[in-house]
Chain A
Amino acid sequence: MRIAVTGIGVASGLGYGKAAFLQGLFEARGVFSELTRHGREPAGGEPPFVGVELDEPPNVLPARLARTATLSSRVAMAVLQEAWQDAGLDQVDPERIGLVVGSSNPMSREQALAAQRYADKLEFVPPRHGHMFLSSDIAGLCTSVLPIRGFSQSVDAASASGSVAVIQAMDAVRSGRVDVCIALGALQDLSGYDLHAMRSLGVMGGADHAARPGEACRPMDLAHYGFIYGEASAALVLMRKDLSMSHNSYGDLIGAGHIADGSRGPEPNSEGQVRAALNALAQAGLTAKQIDFVNGHATGTPQGDFEECRTYHSLELHHARINATKSIVGHGMSAAGALELAAVLLQIKEGRLHPTRNLENPIDESFDWVKAEPVSHEIRHALKFSFGFGGINTALVIAAP
């Protein structure tokens, strides 16, 4: 069964909404700077963290609810509202609509701040803290505001959470459990503690770029040396193709692969990536030769980028155009898979590919990278990769509508 994407809502450093996202992507607008959100201060003497922070989300919640919702939840509501209206879901039976939220430790910064504030006066911990920091609170808030009555759940697959949410939503539609399923990649609100740990782990860059933050994020470039965090969130409305005919469609999800490679930590695994891609292609009834556009996971960690290029080699993707959305908006962590799928679908609609920022000297010249300038390109079949710590590899095949 083909599944159409009929609604999209996005939030990134480029702004809220599809229009700002598209324009910013094609301009490859610079949005990186020092992180200044409270709770992300570096240790004394250490360089500040570099990345992308969102503007305040639009007020879509009553003030009474907004004050009890974390940043991740408020941003989720903003992107969900956009996707909901885009797809016209008010016309659909609420019991036939599901919601899958991809999230991974989504409210870490605010929870750390709360733990500090109440450290020596636990008696006064506000009761709402008993539910508002649970990852399930995002879906709880969303379903309390919008008429989603099929089912709701959260799935955690680290930086592949957004992609796994899409895959779970595809399964829910295919199985007949619901007719419409929303996949939402939640903002992963990293704390200073998380940022230090990522830096210590050797996966996050930016420590030498405090003075030139715009040059820190360089997926697939020889000067890459770690991913750069970028706050983001995205929602996609998936609908049974046969029910979507009266709806505007951005593209169809025709294949998905999601496998475990047996790694525990951050180490990438090309064999696992290839297996995920082959599963997705088999489901789509396509070969890699029929893929004309690849949107990489492409975080900018040296090991990850090299391993991913090995995957492109194994699949013989030299003919396909390739870009990396993280080069512009940073690494959205649990939101990345959903946000970047939105980027793929919007590029299909535009017939144009966005630049890969800072890709000056590709680590492998045998591929057809989209570098500093956008290019016109009619996409028929796209391949989208997303990987997560813990040996999680996913691939999606997307067809033009």
Chain B
Amino acid sequence: MGNPLDNTEIINILIEEIRETVPELEGQPISASDSMVDLGVNSIERSEVILAAMERLDLKIPMVQLHGPKDIQELADLLLVKSAG
């Protein structure tokens, strides 16, 4: 990544990947305070979303270090922290 990451960029990418993975959410607003579980994204799909987002952000973080966040905002925060090493 040429520019340092910020949370908004990560949040937008996560939401785009959620929409790609669950096309049925089309037309439904998704915000940073939503959790993937509450949006109906299943566990395999949640991994898909996170890996696809990491590929776009060129972040290589083991999935086991990404458990815990309760919503998209917290997931973005964690990705940002981990990406900084």
Interface residues of A, Cβ cutoff 8 Å to B? 62-64, 67, 121, 123-128
Query: B44 — which chain A residues lie within 8 A by C-beta?
Result: 127-128
**Is A64's CB under 8 angstroms from B23's CB?**
yes
Looking at chain A's contact residues, the main secondary structure is helix
Question: Quick one: given A127-B44, A127-B47, A128-B48, are A64 and B24 in contact (CB under 8 Å)?
Answer: yes
**Is A63's CB under 8 angstroms from B47's CB?**
no
* B55 at interface, CB cutoff 8 A: yes
Complex: chain A residue closest to B22, CB-CB:
A64
**Is B60's CB under 8 angstroms from A123's CB?**
yes
1/0 contact string of B46-70 vs chain A (CB within 8 Å): 0110011011000010000000000
Additional 11 contacts, C-beta under 8 A, given A67-B23, A124-B52: A63-B24, A64-B22, A123-B51, A123-B54, A124-B51, A124-B54, A126-B48, A126-B51, A126-B52, A127-B44, A127-B48
**Is B55's CB under 8 angstroms from A124's CB?**
yes
**Is A121's CB under 8 angstroms from B55's CB?**
yes
Which of B44, B47, B60 has the most A CB atoms < 10 Å from its CB? B44
Q: Measured between alpha carbons, how far is A63 from B27 in the docked complex, in Å?
A: 14
**Is B24's CB under 8 angstroms from A127's CB?**
no
Among candidates A62, A123, A124, A126, residue contacting B24 with C-beta atoms closer than 8 Å: A62
Q: Measured between alpha carbons, how far is A126 from B63 in the docked complex, in Å?
A: 12
Which of A62, A121, A126 has the most B CB atoms < 10 Å from its CB? A126
Can you list 11 A-B pairs with a CB-CB distance of less than 8 A? A63-B23, A64-B24, A123-B60, A124-B54, A124-B55, A125-B51, A126-B51, A126-B52, A127-B44, A127-B48, A128-B44
**Is A127's CB under 8 angstroms from B23's CB?**
no
Shortest A120–chain B CB gap in Å is 12
**Is B22's CB under 8 angstroms from A127's CB?**
no
Query: B51 — which chain A residues lie within 8 A by C-beta?
Result: 123-127
Complex: chain A residue closest to B25, CB-CB:
A64
Q: Measured between alpha carbons, how far is A126 from B56 in the docked complex, in Å?
A: 13
Query: B21 — which chain A residues lie within 8 A by C-beta?
Result: 64, 67
Shortest A271–chain B CB gap in Å is 49
Q: Measured between alpha carbons, how far is A140 from B48 in the docked complex, in Å?
A: 19
Q: Measured between alpha carbons, how far is A97 from B75 in the docked complex, in Å?
A: 44
Shortest A119–chain B CB gap in Å is 13
Closest 7 CB pairs of A and B: A63-B23, A124-B55, A127-B47, A123-B60, A127-B44, A124-B51, A126-B48
Query: B48 — which chain A residues lie within 8 A by C-beta?
Result: 126-128
Query: B23 — which chain A residues lie within 8 A by C-beta?
Result: 63-64, 67
Q: Measured between alpha carbons, how far is A283 from B73 in the docked complex, in Å?
A: 67
Q: Measured between alpha carbons, how far is A125 from B21 in the docked complex, in Å?
A: 15
Complex: chain A residue closest to B55, CB-CB:
A124
Q: Measured between alpha carbons, how far is A128 from B51 in the docked complex, in Å?
A: 11
Q: Measured between alpha carbons, how far is A337 from B21 in the docked complex, in Å?
A: 36
Q: Measured between alpha carbons, how far is A341 from B60 in the docked complex, in Å?
A: 51
Query: A63 — which chain B residues lie within 8 A by C-beta?
Result: 23-24
Complex: chain A residue closest to B41, CB-CB:
A64
Shortest A134–chain B CB gap in Å is 14
Complex: chain A residue closest to B42, CB-CB:
A64
Q: Measured between alpha carbons, how far is A214 from B57 in the docked complex, in Å?
A: 48
Q: Measured between alpha carbons, how far is A278 from B52 in the docked complex, in Å?
A: 56
Complex: chain B residue closest to A67, CB-CB:
B23
Shortest A10–chain B CB gap in Å is 28
Complex: chain B residue closest to A127, CB-CB:
B47
Query: B47 — which chain A residues lie within 8 A by C-beta?
Result: 127
Complex: chain B residue closest to A131, CB-CB:
B44
Query: A126 — which chain B residues lie within 8 A by C-beta?
Result: 48, 51-52
Which of B23, B24, B52, B60 has the most A CB atoms < 10 Å from its CB? B23
Complex: chain B residue closest to A66, CB-CB:
B23
Query: A64 — which chain B residues lie within 8 A by C-beta?
Result: 21-24
Shortest A374–chain B CB gap in Å is 44
Query: A128 — which chain B residues lie within 8 A by C-beta?
Result: 44, 48
Shortest B64–chain A CB gap in Å is 13
